[in-house]
């Protein structure tokens, strides 16, 4: 049975006249999306610079005297936290979620535009508080991105005075801001779909962002609780997480707190967070592959169900991050099993992407290159995940560079490749201009080959036993000279990848002014955002009349149709035979 | 179940318009999603509370040896009663709003505001009573100077540094903050009622406010029960 909800076409839109009303305190989802994206990319560049500094230290120890051990730990911490929360989550949900959801489901805007605007400004405040950590006495926290107590707030950890406080306050603010945005993403999908847009006619991108938003709404409260309680441990002297402890020869006034409780709360947020980042990427990459292979996505229903199942399962695997924290072995058995079960829906998705490519009319344009590159890095990262998901294999590999290589492949590089693909894909719609294809291809090849040069050797280093988070390896019997050479090579590759990103920024900024005018639908895509009357879409998106949806999002290469795609808002006609499946 | 029908649709087979579904209130769906988030928040706090007490398996002796039950001040029973009355007042406001009796509606709304404030003030008095009875959050001076008075007391002082009290403060504070946030929407509805907005516009808003207050009452009863049982 197909059902639809009617979008509210009668509610008047708030049309501001002034520049500030239009572009600063804007309630237009597209402007908010761009604000979110630019802020996230801006803070992401800070994290990228931090990673370059870390690589310089690791590749060439004893060379850069301004990088002291405590600075290195601060770089590690801030790089991780910024990349996971303030860049990936904010860019995929706040940026792409905001831009794509209303356009793809055929709505004029988010359902609560004012709350949506507030969400961005609270996010910006969170970013500013986080950045303030660089300028407080003692610098930002160096506790590692997981912020495990007791060390996170003890003397000896960099930033234990103020840095940890700015970090925790910033996280709490981020969660408040995100909850406002997340409510909008979820309720807009549920309530504001255009006439004819059933749930199963939504593009995979919307499904990914929708399920990820629900997950984020359910997972972030755990981080909120953990942040508030740790803040009280630090500021008010409570003992939620702090056990009785002697620090620097002094008995501290803590007793009885449970560090493991923090780890449970953190990872109850932390593991779903992986999929909060991955599911939007899954959704977007499905659409990129279908559009640029001119084929309907293989097994659309399976793709949607897999997204939902992965989202649900990811709440039952968190303790696989805690195998070495001291856990009842039976728990390890349970969590290893649930972890490996997630591989099933994930494998379904990977096979379906490959089968969508199979005998497709593949156009190797830049977005498609990034989408295919994602398949490589994601399969790679997923397979090393199978190693780490097993307790007995994880124990020796835990806290080595194997783990660093694994999670950068699976939740760092993979979503970032999709984000690049998505930016190249939707840039013509967002700006009305085309970017430079040659520069885009150079950017792609350096980035793709470069990240392999960076992260593949890390797995070998990890198997050798090279520990993560160490400022310098020093003289160690089990680490051969070749490991040091590998570290140098990784650093050189990382710096080349770093430099290649300047090509991307150059391309995007110059094309904004000098790029040729873009066709409203340059890729021949079926989804609604390409069918807007204006490019870029104006406030209200659809002109006087909302679109009406007659078909699903993947009518590509339909036999008998005049073009190799049929937009979702094109009424059915007789001569067209529908998919024989 | 229609959700299964929705999710098993084969969208490639059925071009056309589909069937229309009766419209739901967007604000109601939004509130429902938000209540889900609040439920998770307080459930996690409850789990953290129980784990910190030491009721997770074999580590009782290690985790929870400093946990000492708190004698709840009797005022909490009074506050609970006030919160129940607030929910009843919302119910009254809902009934008269549907019937369009604006004068009665204004009276009920003022009653709601007054009762909520009494509850919040009552909670603050409970905090002060606990503090006066020697129940502090911490056993050492914190960074912002909270509880300086206990700084010179010995570590084994039987009332200080009790995690049960710390949880009590955190949970009541978060619950109170949710009520304060609700007062924003109460304020908008009340201003609307006094400026003569029609009951057709007001009634759904008051219904949603009432739902939020009932929910927070339920949360409070759960949390109060947790405090009483432990």
pLDDT tens figures, A524-553: 999 999 999 998 999 889 988 899 999 999
Q: Is A198–B52 a contact, with Cβ atoms under 8 angstroms apart?
A: no
Burial class (CB in 10 A: 0-12, 13-18, 19+), A556: buried
Q: What is the DSSP string of A534-553?
A: SSS--TTSSTTS-----S-T
Stretch A147-176: mean pLDDT? 94
Higher pLDDT residue, B159 or A523? A523
Q: Quick count: other Cβ atoms within 10 Å of Cβ B210?
A: 20
Q: What is the ipTM of this complex?
A: 0.91
List, for residues A291-341, the tens digit of each pLDDT value: 999 999 999 999 999 999 999 999 999 999 999 988 787 888 999 999 999
pLDDT of A443 strictly over 90: yes
CB contacts, 8 Å: A551 with chain B? 11, 15
Q: What is the pLDDT of residue A11?
A: 56
Give the contacts of A440 (CB within 8 A, at least 6 positions apart).
A366, A424, A507
Give the contacts of A297 (CB within 8 A, at least 6 positions apart).
A204, A286, A287, A289, A290, A303, A352, A356, A554
Stretch A35-58: mean pLDDT? 97
Stretch B30-47: mean pLDDT? 96
Stretch A550-577: mean pLDDT? 87
Asked which of A279-288, A382-391, B123-132 is least confident by mean pLDDT, the reply is B123-132
Q: Quick check: B65 contacting A, CB < 8 Å?
A: yes
Q: What is the pLDDT of residue B55?
A: 60
Percent of chain A with pLDDT over 70: 96
Please give the structure tokens belonging to residue A429.
């719609």
Q: Which residue of A has its CA nearest to B62?
A: A256
Residues 186-205 of chain B whose Cβ lies under 8 A from any Cβ of chain A: none
Q: Quick check: A573 contacting B, CB < 8 Å?
A: no
Q: Quick check: A11 contacting B, CB < 8 Å?
A: no
Higher pLDDT residue, B139 or A562? A562
List, for residues A183-208, the tens digit of each pLDDT value: 999 999 999 999 999 999 999 999 99
pLDDT of A94 strictly over 50: yes
Q: Which residue in B36, B140, B166 is closest to A253 by CB distance?
A: B140
Q: What is the pLDDT of residue B62?
A: 45
Single out the residue of B113, B131, B123 nearest to residue B80, CA to CA: B123
Q: Which residue in B14, B15, B33 is closest to A183 by CB distance?
A: B33
Q: Which residue of A has its CA nearest to B173?
A: A228
Cβ–Cβ under 8 Å, residues A356 and A295: yes
Give the span between the Cα atoms of A131 and A149, in whole angstroms: 22
- A32-241+257-531 classified as CATH 1.20.210.10: yes
Q: What is the pLDDT of residue B149?
A: 42
Please give the structure tokens belonging to residue A154.
């003890």
Q: Which residue in B34, B139, B140 is closest to A183 by CB distance?
A: B34
List, for residues A268-284, the tens digit of each pLDDT value: 999 999 999 999 999 99
Q: What is the pLDDT of residue B138?
A: 60
pLDDT of B53 strictly over 90: no
Interface test with B, best of A155, A233, A238 (most B CBs within 10 A): A238
Give the span between the Cα atoms of A415 and A433, in whole angstroms: 24
CB contacts, 8 Å: A304 with chain B? 7
* B142 Cα to chain A: minimum distance (Å): 4
Most confident of A251-260, B15-24, B35-44: B35-44
Interface test with B, best of A155, A225, A233, A257 (most B CBs within 10 A): A225
Stretch A20-48: mean pLDDT? 93
pLDDT of A580 strictly over 80: no
* A331-340 core/surface letters (b: 16 or more CB in 10 A; e: else): ebeebbebbe
Domains in chain B: boundaries: 34-229
Residues 127-156 of chain B whose Cβ lies under 8 A from any Cβ of chain A: 137-144, 146-147, 155
Please give the structure tokens belonging to residue A184.
């909008």
Residue pairs spanning A and B at CB distance below 8 A = 188
Cβ–Cβ under 8 Å, residues B182 and B219: no
- B34-229 classified as CATH 1.20.120.80: yes
Cβ–Cβ under 8 Å, residues B34 and A112: no
pLDDT of A148 strictly over 80: yes
Q: Which residue in B29, B41, B140 is closest to A191 by CB distance?
A: B29
Q: What is the pLDDT of residue A461?
A: 95
Stretch A390-407: mean pLDDT? 94
Asked which of A120-134, A480-494, B109-123, B135-149 is least confident by mean pLDDT, the reply is B135-149
Residues 28-57 of chain B whose Cβ lies under 8 A from any Cβ of chain A: 29-30, 33-34, 36-37, 40-41, 44-45, 48, 51-52, 57
Asked which of A182-191, A407-416, B62-71 is least confident by mean pLDDT, the reply is B62-71
Q: What is the pLDDT of residue A7?
A: 47
Asked which of A168-177, A204-213, A298-307, B134-143 is least confident by mean pLDDT, the reply is B134-143
Q: Which residue in B30, B45, B65 is closest to A256 by CB distance?
A: B65
SS3 for A131-181 is HHCCCCCCCCCCCCCCCCCCHHHCCCCCCCCCHHHHHHHHHHHHHHHHHHH
Q: What is the pLDDT of residue A522?
A: 95
Q: Is A253–B155 a contact, with Cβ atoms under 8 angstroms apart?
A: yes
Please give the structure tokens belonging to residue B109.
């709304």
Q: What is the pLDDT of residue B144?
A: 43
Q: Is A238–B166 a contact, with Cβ atoms under 8 angstroms apart?
A: yes
Q: What is the pLDDT of residue B61?
A: 45
Cβ–Cβ under 8 Å, residues A56 and A491: yes
Q: What is the pLDDT of residue A102?
A: 96
Q: Is A578–B21 a contact, with Cβ atoms under 8 angstroms apart?
A: no
Interface test with B, best of A232, A236, A242 (most B CBs within 10 A): A236
CB contacts, 8 Å: A3 with chain B? 2, 5-6, 18-21
* A267 Cα to chain B: minimum distance (Å): 13
Q: Is B139–A253 a contact, with Cβ atoms under 8 angstroms apart?
A: yes
Q: Is A238–B137 a contact, with Cβ atoms under 8 angstroms apart?
A: yes
Q: Is B48–A200 a contact, with Cβ atoms under 8 angstroms apart?
A: no
Q: Quick check: A301 contacting B, CB < 8 Å?
A: yes
Interface test with A, best of B7, B29, B44 (most A CBs within 10 A): B44
Mean residue pLDDT across chain B: 84
Stretch A472-500: mean pLDDT? 92
Residues 94-123 of chain A whose Cβ lies under 8 A from any Cβ of chain B: 111-112
* A378 Cα to chain B: minimum distance (Å): 27
Angle at A510 between CA A506 and CA A515, to 5 degrees: 130
List, for residues B71-101, the tens digit of each pLDDT value: 888 999 999 999 999 999 999 999 999 998 8
Q: Quick check: A560 contacting B, CB < 8 Å?
A: no
pLDDT grade for B218, boundaries at 50, 70 and 90: very high
Q: What is the pLDDT of residue B71?
A: 82
SS3 for A328-340 is CHHHHHHHHHHHH
DSSP A481: H
Q: What is the DSSP string of B110-179?
A: HHHHHHHHHHHHHHHHHHHHHHHTT--S-SS--TT-TTGGGTTS-TT-SSTT-HHHHHHHHHHHHHHHHH
Q: Which residue of A has its CA nearest to B1?
A: A1
Cβ–Cβ under 8 Å, residues A56 and A67: yes
Q: Quick check: A552 contacting B, CB < 8 Å?
A: yes
Q: What is the pLDDT of residue A578?
A: 57
List, for residues B143-177, the tens digit of each pLDDT value: 444 443 444 444 433 334 678 888 999 999 999 99
DSSP A316: G
Q: Which residue in B18, B23, B147 is closest to A198 by CB distance?
A: B18
pLDDT grade for B219, boundaries at 50, 70 and 90: very high
H helix runs in A398-519, sequence order: 401-407, 414-431, 437-464, 481-514
């Amino acid at each position: 049975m197909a059902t639809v909800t009617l979008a509210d076409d009668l509610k008047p839109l708030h049309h501001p006249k002034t520049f500030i009303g239009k572009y600063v305190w804007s309630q237009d989802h597209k402007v908010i999306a761009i604000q979110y994206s630019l802020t996230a990319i801006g803070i992401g560049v800070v994290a990228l610079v931090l990673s370059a500094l870390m690589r310089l230290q690791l590749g060439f120890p004893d060379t850069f005297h301004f990088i002291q051990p405590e600075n290195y730990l601060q770089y590690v911490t801030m790089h991780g936290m910024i990349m996971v929360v303030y860049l990936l989550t904010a860019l995929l949900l706040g940026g792409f979620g905001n831009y794509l959801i209303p356009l793809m489901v055929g709505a004029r805007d988010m359902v609560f535009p004012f709350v949506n605007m507030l969400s961005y400004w609270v996010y910006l405040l969170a970013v500013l508080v986080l950045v303030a950590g660089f300028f407080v006495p003692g610098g930002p926290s160096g506790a590692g991105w997981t912020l495990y107590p007791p060390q996170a707030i003890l003397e000896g950890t960099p930033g234990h005075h103020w840095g940890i406080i700015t970090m925790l306050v910033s996280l709490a603010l981020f969660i408040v801001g995100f909850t406002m945005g997340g409510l909008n993403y979820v309720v807009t999908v549920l309530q504001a779909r255009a006439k004819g847009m059933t749930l199963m006619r939504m593009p995979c991108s919307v499904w990914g962002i929708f399920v990820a938003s629900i997950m984020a709404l359910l997972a972030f409260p755990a981080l909120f609780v953990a942040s508030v309680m740790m803040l009280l441990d630090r500021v008010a002297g409570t003992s939620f997480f702090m056990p009785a402890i002697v620090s620097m020869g002094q008995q501290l006034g803590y007793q009885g707190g449970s560090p493991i409780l923090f780890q449970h709360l953190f990872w109850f947020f932390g593991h779903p967070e992986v999929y909060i980042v991955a599911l939007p990427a899954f959704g977007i990459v499905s659409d990129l592959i279908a559009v640029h292979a001119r084929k309907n996505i293989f097994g659309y229903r399976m793709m949607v169900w897999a997204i939902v199942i992965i989202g649900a399962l990811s709440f039952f695997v968190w303790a696989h991050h805690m195998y070495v924290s001291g856990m009842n072995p039976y728990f390890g058995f349970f969590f290893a099993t649930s972890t490996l079960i997630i591989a099933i829906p994930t494998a379904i998705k990977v096979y379906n992407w490959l089968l969508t490519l199979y005998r497709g009319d593949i156009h190797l344009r830049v977005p498609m290159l990034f989408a295919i590159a994602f398949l490589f890095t994601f399969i790679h990262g997923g397979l090393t995940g199978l190693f780490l998901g097993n307790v007995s294999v994880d124990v020796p590999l835990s806290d080595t560079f194997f783990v660093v290589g694994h999670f950068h492949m699976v939740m760092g590089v993979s979503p970032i490749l999709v984000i690049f693909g998505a930016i190249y894909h939707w840039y013509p719609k967002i700006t009305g201009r085309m970017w430079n294809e040659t520069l885009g291809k150079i950017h792609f090849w350096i980035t793709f080959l470069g990240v392999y040069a960076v992260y593949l050797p890390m797995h070998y280093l990890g198997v050798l036993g090279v520990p993560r988070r160490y400022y310098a390896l020093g003289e160690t019997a089990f680490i051969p000279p070749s490991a040091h050479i590998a570290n140098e090579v990784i650093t050189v590759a990382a710096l080349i990848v770093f430099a290649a990103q300047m090509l991307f920024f150059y391309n995007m900024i110059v094309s904004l002014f000098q790029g040729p005018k873009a066709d409203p639908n340059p890729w021949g895509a079926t989804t609604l955002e390409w069918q807007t009357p204006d490019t870029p879409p104006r406030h209200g998106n659809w002109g006087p009349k909302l679109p009406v949806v007659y078909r699903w999002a993947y009518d590509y290469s339909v036999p008998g149709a005049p073009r190799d795609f049929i937009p979702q808002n094109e009424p059915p006609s007789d001569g067209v035979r529908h998919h024989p499946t | 179940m229609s959700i299964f029908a929705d999710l098993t649709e084969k969208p490639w087979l059925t071009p056309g318009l589909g069937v229309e579904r009766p419209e739901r209130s967007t604000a109601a769906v939004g509130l429902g999603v938000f209540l889900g988030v609040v439920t998770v928040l307080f459930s996690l706090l409850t789990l953290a509370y129980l784990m910190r007490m030491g009721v997770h398996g074999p580590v009782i002796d290690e985790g929870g040896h400093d946990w000492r039950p708190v004698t709840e001040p009797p005022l909490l029973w009074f506050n609970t009663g006030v919160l129940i009355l607030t929910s009843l007042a919302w119910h009254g406001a809902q009934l008269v709003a549907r019937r369009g009796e604006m004068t009665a509606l204004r009276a009920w709304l003022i009653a709601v505001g007054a009762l909520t404030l009494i509850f919040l003030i009552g909670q603050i008095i409970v905090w002060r009573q606990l503090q006066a009875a020697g129940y502090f959050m911490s056993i050492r001076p914190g960074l912002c100077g909270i509880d300086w008075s206990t700084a010179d007391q010995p570590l084994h002082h039987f009332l200080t540094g009790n995690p049960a009290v710390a949880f009590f403060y955190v949970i009541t504070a978060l619950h109170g903050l949710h009520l304060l946030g609700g007062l924003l929407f109460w304020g908008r509805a009340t201003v609307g009622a006094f400026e003569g907005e029609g009951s057709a516009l007001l009634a759904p808003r008051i219904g949603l406010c009432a739902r939020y207050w009932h929910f927070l009452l339920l949360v409070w009863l759960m949390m109060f029960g947790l405090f009483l049982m432990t």
